[in-house]
Amino acid sequence: MKNLSATTAALIALASGSSALAADMPVKAPPAAAIAVYNWTGVYVGGGFGYGMFNLDSSLTNNGVQESIDQTSAGRGWFATVVGGYDHQVNNRIVAGVFADVDFSAIRGHWGDPWWEAAGGINQRWAWAAGGRIGYLFHPAVLSYVNAGYSQARFSRASLFAFGLGTPNGDFIPAQTYSGWFLGGGLEAMLFAGWSVKTEYRLADYGTRSVPIIFNNGVPTAGVTRIHPYVQTARSELIYRFNTGRPVYAAAASAPAMPVYSWTGFYIGAGAGYGMFNLDSSLTVNGTLESANQTWGGRGWFGTVTAGFDSVFSNRMVGGVFADVDISNIKGHFADTWWEASGRITHKWAWAAGARAGYLVLPTVLTYVNGGFTQARFSGVTLFDFGFPTNPTGDSLPAQTYSGWFVGGGVETPLWSGFFVKTEYRYADYRTRTLLVVNDDARIAPDRIHPTVQTVRTDLVYKFNWGAAPVTARY
């Protein structure tokens, strides 16, 4: 996958247009300087794009009998979005508003069930959301916010193929619209003459629906699957505000002076995050491909520790190297429709080492992109007939460490006395590995598994040299 995230694109856009955000800003702002005070009250429209993953938790009944449980199918892909809304600036720091948006998506994956011995492609076609947001202006032109509200998403029909291979079995799951809620947060920055750019993370939970499995002739089978979708997205949008006109200016003497921090030096930090994974898989037995086009998934929380070194290379550019370790509890399921079995799998830990390059939108606001090498550890899988813990098959997949690359981006800003906070989106792609299914220590059949992981994280960082005299820069 060529997965340069939507967040990365937004941060570059934010950096390129922000040279008008503030006047000359040395360590002690001169009393005669002026800062722009932007009007955030009014109506806006916008559009953009993003990247996302979904999980589909499912279980299946046939003639009223529970036949499989605890399956988690998955998918990932891009989407385009349009948005409209209204904000009201409550005071010089607080902005609140309402909005609605529509996503036109190609987030593609697979749904499968080991009892039905079939799998097929399924896509999130579109989603819409309506809700409210509240934000804090840590600069007159830069708004950080959280949002929440109601959402609906449309998932396509899934035509089922025996073991996910090219032979259709004639059955399908009809297209469905799911309803639920979303929660997210992001950053928006004014660019020029009514234009702003915003980048946002969002998690949506669409509740459970009972979906019939249909024969090709349109007659329902006795099989019903209960599906519960979750969708995690990162998006960037270009916004136009109708009410901006000329910005209002206020004397800098009436506003507190903005401190300037040193960005050169060593740092350590710790934090937490949330993520999803996809596991693409296929299975061969005695050299014959028996199943293909399976995508399984999982989601959950993780803790993280980080350390690194940054250096200011010019008035605005910051570069550095870093490493971090995630201790995670991102849980999901692995299954195979030919093996007719499934079991729980957990993303246990990951470490990453790489570099980042950033742009100082303000002396106290760094936007950055990063990338590098990563490894992740996934637990072993004990396989149960159709996912039932009471029916162990005796088969298992061993725990494995996967290697790959990551790319991401984020925002960092100081809080107080050497402490900084940063929030980051990251996408990791781990190379395919061949795992041998094991039964009583006898190797049986190889599964080819390709993990991808999408995370969002927030770290509290301590910089050892934060009080060092910075280089005076023009903003």
Q: Would 60 be classed as within a structural domain?
A: yes
Is residue 116 within 8 Å of residue 213, measured between CB atoms? yes
CATH number for 353: 2.40.160.20
Stretch 63-67: mean pLDDT: 94
Query: What does the pLDDT look like over 225-263, one tens digit per residue?
Result: 999 999 999 999 999 999 765 444 443 334 445 556 789
In the prediction, which pLDDT does 131 show? Answer: 98
Q: Has residue 1 got a pLDDT over 50? A: no
Please say if the pLDDT value at position 29 is more than 60.
no
Q: Once rounded to an integer, what is the mean pLDDT over residues 150-175?
A: 93
Residue 375 lies in a domain: yes
**Is 470 within the bounds of a domain?**
no
Average pLDDT of the residues in 26-33: 44
For the entire predicted model, the pTM comes to 0.87
- Check residue 27 and give its pLDDT: 42
Q: What is the 3-state secondary structure (H, E, C) of 263-280?
A: CCEEEEEEEEEEEEEEEE
- Asked if residue 150 is part of any domain, the answer here is yes
The pLDDT of 452-456, averaged and rounded, is: 97
User: In which band, very low, low, confident or very high, does the pLDDT at 296 lie, cut at 50, 70 and 90?
Assistant: very high
Spatial separation of the C-alpha atoms in residues 327 and 349, rounded to whole Å = 5
Residues 6+ apart with CB under 8 A from 117: 162, 163, 337, 338, 340
Domain membership of residue 346 (yes or no) is yes
* Averaged pLDDT of the chain: 87
Instruction: Dig out the tokens for 434 from the structure.
Output: 């061949």
Q: Which residues pair with 312 in a beta bridge?
A: 318
Lowest-confidence pick of 77-86, 180-189, 254-263: 254-263
pLDDT over threshold 70, residue 473 = no
Domain span including residue 162: 6-463
In a domain, residue 474? The reply is no
The answer to the question of residue 468 being in a domain is no
pLDDT in tens, 327-364: 999 999 999 999 999 999 999 999 999 999 999 887 88
What total of structural domains would you count in the chain?
1
Asked if the model's pLDDT at residue 28 lies above 60, the reply is no
Whether residue 76 is contained in a domain is answered as: yes
Percent of the chain at pLDDT exceeding 70: 86
